[in-house]
Amino acid sequence: MPSIKKLIKNPAKVVYILDKIGVSKIIPDSAYLKLKYKANFEKKLNIKTPRTYNEKLQWLKLYDRKHEYTEMVDKYEVKKYVERRIGKEYIIPTLGVWDCVEDIDFSSLPNQFVLKCTHDSGGLIICNDKSKLNIEQAKSKLKKALKNKFYIYGREWPYKNVKPRIIAEKYMEDSTTGELRDYKFFCFNGVAKALFIATDRQKADEEVKFDFFNMEFEHLDFRQGHPNSKKQIFKPITFDLMKKMAEKLSEGIPQVRVDFYEVDGKMYFGEITFFHHNGLVPFEPEEWDLTFGSWINLPQK
């Protein structure tokens, strides 16, 4: 075990150890977020008068807690929210929903499908050929994901009361790009200000690429967590529709990210994310942290 002096000088190590031994769950949200922020940014979290995007996300975790946010992050229940707000034609069809892995009847699923957990972001199985799927391996991954307390390790409050379940969805792939690209819109009180596009997500031998754009679809010169793509990225056909629907889905919310896919010229809803990168990944250059932060008008506590 590292000495106390070394631990104090290395908050990232402290957080890792606390998470590993399960002590994190008894630490109050505010104290844990301050420790986690210090570990990631090597500076104190300004929670009283936050200015940057990442600081304000931590503030929102603590003080902007509404019951409907839980429905909006639940990957099954959110479909009801989307249907009410913009219509069911933008929803990827659900093939099944189960409380435990043993209930999944793989024989009833089509040759291609996607399995994911309703309460986290890691429990994902993409099957494009059922004859090649290692079912036992898939079950093992899903069992582990179901036990994941997603709220504990980032204090993203909306996830705290999401019921862990598994859903199967229709497999989607754009015939032009050969992948399912994410178009993720940053919205502030119902106004879309920027988006990023995730590419190379389904290539096992390549790191995912993130490219940021403004609402004129001009490339923004910064990185966050992943490199930019070296390929030219074209504006999606449904860009204007995506922007319109993102703004509808984000009305009345200080800030939220709304994700869509485009498949063969048609738009589909992906998910709603309240805390992009958990508010714990630096911008490069960091001036963009202030720019995004300036777009958030914090509500009253």
Give pLDDT tens digits for 139-171: 999 999 999 888 998 999 999 999 999 999 999
Q: Per-residue pLDDT for 265 more than 80?
A: yes
CATH numeric code, 174-301:
3.30.470
Residue 199 has pLDDT above 70, yes or no: yes
State residue 121's pLDDT score: 79
pLDDT in tens, 88-122: 999 999 999 999 999 999 999 999 999 999 998 77
Q: Rounded to whole angstroms, how far apart are CA atoms 137 and 158?
A: 29
- Structure token digits, residue 153: 């390790």
Q: Rounded mean pLDDT of 200-211?
A: 82
State how far the alpha carbon of 208 is from the alpha carbons of 108, 141, 260, 276, in Å.
32, 21, 17, 16
CA-CA distance, 8 to 275, in Å (whole number)? Answer: 27
**Pairwise CA distance, residues 138 & 145, whole Å:** 11
Q: Where are the domains of the chain?
A: 93-171, 174-301
- C-beta of residue 212 within 8 angstroms of C-beta of residue 225: no
